[in-house]
């Protein structure tokens, strides 16, 4: 083992001796990787290809005790630390340049207790891996729309998807966590144990420690649900979005319908003449009784003259992967997001103008539907405060060539700025890119920020965990 030069919290360099590193390595059940070692590039490569950072040292944790050792090592040497769960976050904070990266992606245990309807899940598990195990028992907790997303970062920011209107955010279904705090101790947090820490991790991102296990509540779901896509010509977007607005106003919370605006990918059920043309897609999932679900969706299916309507019974776990082919890793990605209480006419116009200027075939604007069980929780009950939001717009800008960055990012910002006056000012922390640090206080946490800053001072006074949408330790 050679020595390594590591970046410290104040941006200086710390040279770890070969002895120090060997000692750390010997204590690990997992691996310690230096540049060039097997596993190093795999660990530092994340979903967003815009992020290409090189940590000086990577601890590939196998068990919680490895995380304890890594945090103690980082603390002792005041090192810059990054934490990787599934590596999906757009901002790329899972990887640091020059510091110590704690890679949790090999911690992959999922244990379902079908009787108690609970799940024990390690932080390297992806949403698809969790769904697959829970669905063996006809159970699920609300997860997101892309199965390769990691459970860890997803949950710590809040987490929502197709069944959140019925069952709440992912954090609303969190029972407890095991977490290594900045003092290098492994503790549990739940409503009963360290309840203030438990409050903070339910939305506070990776600010409060490294979670080594999650315990979730599960609900009976499927295994078949009514789900699918309705694809329309974009020319009818205005009337369709007005119809959608009316539909969602009275849709039961078993039904969730999102809007996707983009160019048509070459999907087998779309006539070839539509491939590459602008389309409006309603993506729909309805849980519970299938006849009731089909009836509830009928008014949405009656809108306009769709190019394709492929709604029907679908295995829930399969539907949870429906968007995977459009969201594969390895592309350059930039996102911007706003929260909305309603869909104003002016906002609909912004969406339409935005799509008319789409910069490329992989770019899309998503409008996700919230409300229902998510909004029955009080804003101060968990760190995630956006409990009066019914829609989230996410501009997913995606391209391949580094030389094209400016053109794509400029389009994103233009649509985002135009939509701003119809939005709440709030933003879901998990949809924020790395250049939005100024939105953390008011936008991401608003009324909960002060309490979060105090808890940050209690649990991480030196801001050891700062590679995130950072909450600064406050008085």
Instruction: State the residues that interact with ligand FAD by CB under 6 A.
Output: 46-47, 83-90, 93-94, 104, 123, 144-146, 149-150, 152-154, 156-157, 159-161, 205-206, 210-211, 327, 430, 467-468
CA 422-426-428 angle, to 5 degrees, is 120
Nearer to ligand FAD (CB atom), residue 85 or residue 306: 85
Nearer to ligand FAD (CB atom), residue 21 or residue 456: 456
Nearer to ligand FAD (CB atom), residue 16 or residue 170: 170
Nearer to ligand FAD (CB atom), residue 160 or residue 316: 160
Handedness of CA 434, 439, 445, 451 (dihedral sign): positive
Nearer to ligand FAD (CB atom), residue 21 or residue 367: 367
Q: Are 451 and 471 in contact (CB under 8 A)?
A: no
Distance in Å, CB of 156 to ligand FAD, minimum: 5
Distance in Å, CB of 95 to ligand FAD, minimum: 8
CA 35-36-40 angle, to 5 degrees, is 65
Rounded CA separation 67/60 (Å): 9
Paired sense of beta strands 224-233 and 278-286, if any: antiparallel
Distance in Å, CB of 158 to ligand FAD, minimum: 6
Distance in Å, CB of 466 to ligand FAD, minimum: 9
Torsion angles phi and psi, residue 298, rounded to 5: -50, -45
Where do we find the tokens 């779901």? Answer: 221
Where do we find the tokens 């640090």? Answer: 437
Q: Are 59 and 70 in contact (CB under 8 A)?
A: yes
Paired sense of beta strands 100-103 and 81-84, if any: parallel
Q: How far is CA 422 from CA 180, 346, 411, 438, in A?
A: 40, 7, 18, 20
Distance in Å, CB of 302 to ligand FAD, minimum: 27
Distance in Å, CB of 353 to ligand FAD, minimum: 25
Distance in Å, CB of 242 to ligand FAD, minimum: 25
CA 5-211-102 angle, to 5 degrees, is 20
Distance in Å, CB of 430 to ligand FAD, minimum: 4
Nearer to ligand FAD (CB atom), residue 114 or residue 437: 437
Nearer to ligand FAD (CB atom), residue 161 or residue 168: 161
Nearer to ligand FAD (CB atom), residue 90 or residue 355: 90
Cβ neighbours of residue 69 closer than 8 Å, sequence gap 6 or more: 24, 27, 28, 59
Q: Are 370 and 390 in contact (CB under 8 A)?
A: yes
Cis peptide before 223 (omega within 30 of 0): yes
């Amino acid at each position: 083992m050679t020595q390594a030069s590591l970046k410290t919290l104040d941006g200086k360099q710390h040279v770890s001796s070969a002895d120090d590193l060997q000692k750390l390595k010997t204590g690990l059940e997992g691996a310690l990787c230096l540049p060039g070692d097997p596993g190093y590039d795999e660990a530092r490569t994340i979903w967003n290809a815009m992020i290409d950072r090189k940590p000086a040292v990577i601890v590939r944790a196998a068990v919680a005790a490895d995380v304890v050792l890594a945090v103690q090592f980082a603390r002792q040497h005041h090192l810059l630390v990054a934490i990787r769960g599934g590596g999906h976050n757009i901002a790329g904070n899972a990887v640091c340049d020059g510091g110590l990266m704690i890679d949790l992606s090999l911690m992959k245990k999922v244990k379902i207790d079908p009787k108690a309807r609970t799940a024990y899940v390690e932080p390297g598990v992806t949403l698809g891996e969790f769904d697959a195990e829970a669905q063996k028992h006809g159970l699920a907790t609300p997860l997101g729309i892309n199965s390769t997303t990691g459970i860890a970062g997803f949950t710590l920011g809040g987490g929502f998807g197709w069944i959140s209107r019925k069952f709440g955010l992912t954090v609303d279904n969190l029972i407890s966590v095991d977490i290594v705090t900045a003092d290098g101790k492994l503790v549990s947090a739940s409503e009963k144990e360290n309840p203030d820490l438990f409050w903070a991790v339910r939305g506070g991102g990776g600010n409060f420690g490294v979670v080594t296990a999650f315990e979730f509540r599960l609900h009976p779901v499927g295994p078949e649900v009514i789900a699918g896509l309705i694809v329309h010509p974009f020319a009818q977007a205005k009337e369709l979005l007005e119809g959608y607005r009316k539909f969602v106003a009275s849709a039961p919370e078993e039904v969730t319908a999102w809007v996707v605006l983009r160019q048509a990918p070459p999907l087998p059920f779309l006539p070839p003449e539509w491939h590459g043309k602008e389309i409006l897609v309603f993506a729909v999932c309805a849980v519970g009784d299938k006849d009731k679900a089909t009836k509830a969706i009928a008014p949405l299916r009656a809108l306009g003259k769709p190019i394709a309507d492929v709604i029907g019974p679908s295995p829930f776990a399969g539907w949870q992967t429906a968007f995977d082919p459009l969201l594969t890793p390895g592309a350059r990605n930039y996102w911007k997001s706003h929260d909305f209480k309603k869909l104003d006419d002016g906002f609909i116009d912004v969406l339409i103008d935005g799509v008319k200027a789409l910069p490329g075939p992989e770019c899309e604007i998503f409008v996700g539907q919230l409300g229902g069980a998510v909004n029955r929780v009080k804003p101060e009950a968990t760190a995630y405060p956006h409990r009066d939001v019914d829609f989230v717009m996410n501009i997913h800008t995606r391209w391949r060539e580094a030389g094209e960055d400016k053109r794509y990012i400029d389009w994103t910002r233009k649509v985002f700025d135009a939509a701003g006056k119809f939005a709440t000012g709030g933003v879901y922390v998990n949809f924020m890119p790395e250049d939005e640090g100024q939105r953390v206080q008011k936008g991401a946490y608003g009324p909960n920020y002060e309490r979060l800053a105090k808890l940050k001072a209690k649990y991480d006074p030196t801001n050891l965990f700062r590679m995130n949408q950072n909450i600064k330790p406050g008085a």
